[in-house]
Chain A
């Protein structure tokens, strides 16, 4: 029994981690049933290609004033906080290296290129990202606000051999997200 379980487990995990192939496609239902959720894994470490871009997430907030007009804050570079936290730290925290970075990549995974949430998971990721932004801004600047907006600037890593100072030909993506309502802060 133990041996059979071992072999079944290893077979399922193998098909789960291997690049998609006819066998894993054919048995995907069984493999998923066995592997998820506890044995889920992904070893695409810097693969197939490492990221060749650096993303910077900016945030600003808005507060509706009693007279009905909106007061909008200046932009805050949230990624700069993470970078500052990582720099010269031999043991960087997950909250700096992974939190915002993975929240954004999960947002992109669930939303794609446009910002309409089309699934329950997408709504959740949007809430998560909004909470992160609201908390960071509130922690940094304080103030009262009910809305938050993100801007994500993607800059490519210059290809090797390119002379320093020359701008790379690849366009820089500048994605402005819609305003999101968040739990009011600072009250």
Chain B
């Protein structure tokens, strides 16, 4: 497999810009050497180590939790949405699957008991996926569950469900259970135990080679999966922005007026009407939305991505509250998390501990008395958490394990 890839790869570096800013007077040998070096570097990057392990774990936890909340939220409506009692009857669903090629295990039986079993399976799967238990297998089951539930109620889905489905597929390709998971905990305990006993070398080379090949394969697939996730989010924002640019309401700044006046997206009518009374502010926000979405794919390669991600976060929180679309918004927010580098995530616990100790909150590591009442942090400064992001290399707390991120 490897050899094929290497042969195909030189296509990328020959693209304009890939060969560096040369004057065009390269000797054929030099070009060849350069291409080889580039190819090797790319190959090493691809197979060397899995990137963004923390980010994918955050996606796993986020989407597991979101799907669990979704299932629980719809508990009173579960039969109406996915069950045999749905107005989109099992036979209509089956007919549609025949036309589209989709599949859902929910239509295997019309019995209510079978449906309840599937619903329970979905709850358990989402929980296990969130916790990262036997993640490789669980992630495949989770993707199957999400696909089945999504397809069964295809005419009740919105953009958030669509993205969650795509992410469930893509996450099954990644090693999303290596951090902050039960798997990671088990591996830690196992290695701690193994430290005490002398390591036993593999008796033959074959299993070792196999294991190495498996690791390389997992790494390559993981890295490709992460890249696909990142590109998917770029496509999402890019096309959402491009389509908005074509709209006259977004052009003349009145789009948000119409959005705020949609009956079904008005959980707090007083709030919507209050916002609608500030057309200038709404026009500015509308323009900012379009610009941010169109710009999104282009700002990912520099520091500018942090303020843009911040703007998007604010936008999504506003959508969640004002339009009553918390699930949709949370799905988008979790997707954005893929663009934060691992060093941000490794730094997070550090930062939390530090801000906790500044507020004199005893941390377990300090061996504080359990009985004492921790003093509340007077100003839990939300922006504080963002500092290491905008200054990632400032090294507040020693060298964080820096690594290539998706975007860099």
**Which residues of chain A have a CB within 8 Å of any CB of chain B?**
1-6, 9-10, 13-14, 17-19, 36-52, 54, 79, 82-83, 86-99, 101-103, 106, 120-121, 124, 127-128, 131-132, 134-135, 157-161
Residue of A3, A42, A50, A99 touching B249 (CB-CB under 8 A): A50
A134 to B86, CA, bound (A): 12
Residue of B80, B247, B327 touching A49 (CB-CB under 8 A): B247
Q: Which residues of A contact B157 (CB under 8 A)?
A: 94, 98, 102
Task: Evaluate contact between A50 and B258: CB separation under 8 angstroms.
Answer: yes
Given contacts A19-B243, A92-B267, contact A97 B249 (CB under 8 A): no
Q: Which residues of A contact B301 (CB under 8 A)?
A: none
**Which residues of chain B have a CB within 8 Å of any CB of chain A?**
1, 4-5, 8-9, 46, 73-74, 76-77, 80-81, 87-89, 92, 95-96, 99-102, 147, 151, 153, 155-159, 162-163, 166, 169, 220-221, 224, 227-228, 231-232, 235-240, 242-244, 246-250, 254-255, 257-259, 261-269, 276, 279, 321, 324-327
- 17 residue pairs of the A-B complex, CB under 8 angstroms, read A2-B224, A3-B8, A43-B239, A47-B244, A48-B247, A50-B258, A86-B264, A87-B267, A90-B267, A91-B327, A92-B267, A93-B77, A101-B264, A102-B155, A124-B95, A157-B261, A161-B279
A39 to B156, CA, bound (A): 17
Given contacts A3-B8, A42-B159, contact A95 B77 (CB under 8 A): yes
Q: Which residues of A contact B220 (CB under 8 A)?
A: 2-3
Q: Which residues of A contact B263 (CB under 8 A)?
A: 54, 79, 83, 86
Q: Which residues of A contact B99 (CB under 8 A)?
A: 120-121
A44 to B88, CA, bound (A): 25
Residue of B73, B88, B258, B327 touching A52 (CB-CB under 8 A): B258
Task: Evaluate contact between B266 and A160: CB separation under 8 angstroms.
Answer: no
- 13 further interface pairs, Cβ-Cβ under 8 Å (given A1-B5, A94-B81): A3-B224, A4-B5, A37-B101, A41-B163, A43-B236, A50-B258, A83-B266, A87-B267, A91-B326, A95-B81, A102-B158, A103-B87, A160-B279
Q: Which residues of A contact B77 (CB under 8 A)?
A: 93-95
Q: Which residues of A contact B254 (CB under 8 A)?
A: 159-160
Task: Evaluate contact between A128 and B243: CB separation under 8 angstroms.
Answer: no
Given contacts A45-B240, A98-B157, contact A87 B228 (CB under 8 A): no
